[in-house]
Chains A and B, each alone.
Chain A
Amino acid sequence: MDFFVNWVSVVPQFAVPFALATLGLIICERSGVLNLGAEGFMLVGAMIGAGATLVTGSPHLSLVLAALSAGTLSLLFGFLVITLRVNQVISGLTMVFFAQGFTTLVSTKMNWTNKAFEGIGKIDFGPLADIPLVGRLLFDQDIVVYITILIFIVVAFAFERTEQGLRIRAVGENPEAADAAGVSVVMNRYFAVFIGCMLVGLAGAYMSVVVSKIWVDGMSGGRGWIAIALVIFARWRFWPALAGAALFGCVEALIPRIAAVGLQVPQYFVLMLPYVATLTVMVWASLGKNSSGAPGALGKPFVREERN
């Protein structure tokens, strides 16, 4: 029982990076932009988050700065795929490659690598955390966990219940129709990519600033890719994405615990677990309903004057 409580109570901090990254990617992709650069934007967020904490001393401000820097980099990505209509797969991969080089270079030059810092701690709810079973899960978390839930609510509301959400959805489903209705495809896609990548960057920053409290080269460790798979698993919807993130939080939280309980599984096979789980989840998603739920114009660049 203790094993279970201990396990579940750390799930949120493993789930938050997945949740934020997946949410960010859904925003991008619902506008029609396939973002394979997630891993790169996470790295940038994580590196800037750690660096800014070391420089400014304020981890909270650093989270914001990290999100903004990922957003800034996303403008380059947006310029490639939205304005220049470069292949979105290649552009995304290039962004990952670029970000890997960039983060390693900057952090080495600035001497930020492998330097531990204070980070953000958990909120003290006092006795509430002692409630049996769920006390620690609900009341022994850091502030970002709660903010994440809030962000989900805000984004879901904005998508379904506001003009801007309607426009982004329209641009992702049928840019020709949106364009004919006077909605700017380019501006809305830039907007979605910017906001989405900010969230992906925030996911990365959470990992360095809140969870590990240190920056290590390549520390996102494939979570960006898993988030891309989670988008497919969630069929581009918000709440299933949160559930998927929680699921993967469970899987990741399990890894250090497997050895602890004395299960004799080779270490590196345990480390494969998230990737195997992702693959399984993708297969499972493909077995489901007929329609994948993908936005109609996902991955397709738009130009108004294409002659048919």
Chain B
Amino acid sequence: MVESTVKNQRNLFQRFNLEVRDHMLAWQQAVLIFGGLLLGLFLSALMLVVAGVGVSDLLNEFIISIFTSSRNINAVLLLSAPLVIVGLSAAIGFKARFWNIGIEGQVIFGAIGATLIANYDIGPDGFRVLLMGLVAALFGMAWIALPMVLRLKLQVNEIISTLLLNYIAFNFLLHLLFGSWKDPITSFPNSKIYDQFERLPKLAGLDFNVSILLALALVIIFVWVLAVSRFGFVLKFVYSNSKMAKSIGINVGVLVACAALASGALSGIAGFTISASIDSRLTQSFFVGYGFLGILIGFLARNNPLLVVLFSVMMAILMVAGQTLQVFYQIPFSMIQLIQATIVICVAASEFFIHHRIRLVK
């Protein structure tokens, strides 16, 4: 058709039509996500180069030195463990459409619970670590219980309520650290250092901390609960269509409550992991960043536990490399936060092409 005869001309923009895609093959999705990831990394590299890091140094700091130094590998694994756990925490919340933005608060309370056990020497020495972990889980659950109840009984938005509890937990932490839990020896605002048996040990004969194994064990439990058990099967319906789930006879409230409590427990355990394997005490800022990172990892991994591990390790590498950059290149650590956000934005943007297609119309 000759376009000049058309009464009202279309511009180029109107020639493209946005459509919703029904489905896309798994490998195509993977390619797109990977493309987004590459774009994110490329932009990040660009930012670093602009900030004054040479291209060859970049390669060296982020890849070569990480994988060639066992010290760095250990540091990455040590950081990965709590990241995996908070990633799982966010993911189980997502699976029940319960936005747990209060991971940081639960991390804080988990660590407080663990430190409580350690400080007051509760339980036999041999089981101390185990007890610390359990109490941390309980404290994490306790800290999510209020938003969970408010959401289920009064429809109070859990995004805001969990988030507000982060600030309350933080102030409570400061209250303890500047008050009764102050280090008796140094008077610094952190708890007294854990005894050796109150820390997560290194694996016998190896240099690894056991924390990464704890994280992997939780991954396996997560996979079982969601992919094998009846709970996981039913939870899919709560996620996909809660009204339909109700009408088919699923007790949606109970399922959401269970998932929320599990999320809180995981975050609590993450708090315990951080203080028992990294810091060996409760500090003022041990939790910083884990909340957002957990949510972003859960989102990037699309709630897939194996991808949670992958993205956690990636974030941990960024953080370890970031510490080097800080020391040797005077790049503030906040650059790493910016990079992490950039990667999330790019991957999230790539999802657009999974769900939509743009087509030229004649």
Contacts and interface: CB of A to CB of B under 8 A. Distances in A.
B172 to A, nearest CB: 7
B345 interface: yes
Given A96-B292, A272-B167, A85 B356 contact: yes
B335 A98 contact: no
A36 interface: yes
Contact of B167 (A85, A103, A275, A292): A275
Give the interface size bracket for A toward B: 35 or more
Contacts of B156: 282-283, 286
Given A36-B159, A97-B337, A303 B175 contact: no
A104 interface: yes
Contact of A85 (B159, B345, B352): B352
B18 A303 contact: yes
A91 interface: yes
Interface stretch (A170-178, A192-200, A221-229): A221-229
A114 to B, nearest CB: 14
A91 B348 contact: yes
B335 A101 contact: yes
A148 B159 CA distance: 28
A2 interface: no
A93 B292 contact: yes
A307 B20 CA distance: 8
B11 interface: no
A101 B356 contact: no
B338 interface: yes
A93 B295 contact: yes
Interface string A96-108: 1110111111001
30 contacts: A84-B352, A85-B355, A86-B351, A86-B352, A87-B348, A94-B296, A94-B344, A94-B348, A96-B292, A97-B344, A98-B337, A98-B341, A98-B342, A100-B334, A100-B337, A101-B339, A102-B334, A105-B338, A108-B332, A109-B332, A268-B172, A275-B164, A276-B168, A278-B164, A282-B156, A282-B157, A283-B150, A303-B20, A305-B17, A306-B20
Interface of A: 36, 76, 80, 84-87, 89-91, 93-94, 96-98, 100-105, 108-109, 222, 225-226, 228-229, 232, 266-269, 271-272, 275-276, 278-279, 282-283, 286-287, 292, 303-307
